[in-house]
Amino acid sequence: MLELPEIEVLKRDLEKEVVGRRFKSAEVRANRNAMKIVKGHGRRKEFQDLLEGAKVEKVDRLGRVLLMELDTGNTFAIALGDSALLLKTSGSADMETHTHVVLSFTIGGELRIVDPKLSSEIQVLEPDKVAALRENPPFAIDALTNQFTWNHFSGVLQDKETPMRALMIDASFICGLGPLYADEILFTAGIRPDRPSNKLSSQDVRRLYRALMETFQDAIKARGTSIGELPFRDLQGESGTYQLELKVYKKEGELCPRCRHYIEKVPMDGTDAYFCPQCQS
């Protein structure tokens, strides 16, 4: 799954690679499925006309959605699906299977969206739609913004009465936090995944806040986590390395790196949760 650290890695890559570049063409490839990821545009030509000739002035992020602000006043929004890749390549590079959208620049190669499961959504948004999204985001917390402080975190936790892992992976609570990082953060904070959120002490909340911030920053420094059947790759097609730092996720039966007790796996919230019953309470 593409979680917030991976999206932030892509955002920072795009800032370096595409700001100041102008789109030459925007091709939605000619197969019957490609248009499934293009939202709000009924025809290929409508989508293409809004991008062709436009220059990228700024790259931003709203939750898991990448935003390219254009000199036309519109914004090109990319919400990558869990199976998707966003790649910056030369125009002569081999086309990967399941490449559905190819965006070329007047100078500097192409952006390609590769998505085997067609779970991405891309759209060119008018300014009022972007403003509305920013004013009413579909989540309470973005852990990588300046607004995410200890006081804010404590405040939004105060009224919750939910098992901690279920709360952590609730996209309306924290954006871009899935099972992998939730398990790692709760382990680092020493909090059981089934512990009720309204039973946390102020010290617990401080540990949780610190663990969340440190885990995300470490994952970004490691260029994301590349694991599973469809592992993450960055804009240049390189894998991340944070999977080498995982302490509990998919480590059932192995010894806890903190207390040497065995790590356990239990079904929870529709997935498997990984934790140490000895040092998480």
Report the CATH superfamily, name and number, of domain 4-135.
MutM-like, N-terminal (3.20.190.10)
The mean pLDDT of 48-77, rounded to a whole number, is 97
What tokens does 121 get?
């959504």
Q: How far apart are CA 201 and CA 215, in angstroms?
A: 21
Check pLDDT > 80 for residue 104.
Answer: yes
**According to CATH, what is the number of the domain 150-275?**
1.10.8.50
Residue 31 has pLDDT above 80, yes or no: no
Residue 30 pLDDT grade (very low, low, confident, very high; cuts 50, 70, 90): confident
Instruction: Provide the pLDDT for residue 158.
Output: 79
Mean pLDDT, to the nearest integer, of 181-196?
97
Q: Is the separation of the CB atoms in 177 and 167 below 8 Å?
A: no
Q: How many residues does the chain have?
A: 281
pLDDT on residue 156: 83
Selection from 113, 21, 11 nearest residue 62 by Cα: 11
- The pLDDT, as a whole number, for residue 66 is 98
Mean pLDDT in residue range 196-224:
95
pLDDT above 90 as % of the chain: 84
Mean pLDDT of the chain: 94
Is the pLDDT at 142 greater than 90, yes or no? yes
CA distance 49 to 47: 6
pLDDT at position 105 over 80: yes
Q: Residue 173 pLDDT more than 80? A: yes
Q: Over range 174-199, report the average pLDDT.
A: 95
pLDDT band at 41 (very low <50, low <70, confident <90, very high): confident
Instruction: Show me where the domains of the chain are located.
Output: 4-135, 150-275
Residue 108 has pLDDT above 90, yes or no: no
Give yes or no for a contact between 235 and 59, defined as CB atoms under 8 angstroms apart: no
